Amino acid sequence: MRNERDYIMKQVTETHITDYIDFIMDDYVDWCGQAKIGSTQMKETEFFAEEGRNYIKIVHSKMGGQRSVHSFIVKKATKKFVEGDVLMAKSWNAPATNFARATVFDKESFVGRIRWSGIC
């Protein structure tokens, strides 16, 4: 018989989303420093989450109205993905469903894969 703990699934919390967005923003700040981009442009850029039925969409927004999808986080487990998997954006409304790039439950999985400009 299975242990009860086997049935406990991790849930994506606001803290996980905040940590993920902070990682992206830290990468952006590092990039701006290397590219010698001023603080005005840095202040005009933000990343935020929009919650949908199955995914949490991470949006990259610039002042002036430019918006693009950075990535998606699986909100509800599917046959192929577990809750918390980070997926590359295929379009504004859908993720690429070939494979997960990282998981919000392990910050180390972000390294080398998650950049401010998108996902590798």
Give pTM, 2 decimals.
0.88
Q: What is the pLDDT of residues 29-50, one digit of tens each?
A: 999 989 888 777 778 899 999 9
- The per-residue pLDDT string of the chain (120 residues; one tens digit each, 9 = 90 and over) reads 333 434 345 789 999 999 999 999 999 999 998 988 877 777 889 999 999 999 999 999 998 789 999 999 999 999 999 999 999 999 999 999 999 999 999 999 999 999 999 998
pLDDT of residue 1: 39
Contacts of 75 (CB under 8 A, 6+ apart): 12, 51, 52, 53, 54, 55, 56, 83
| Cα–Cα distance for residue pair 95/22, rounded to 1 Å | 21
45-105-73-24 Cα dihedral, nearest 10 degrees: 20
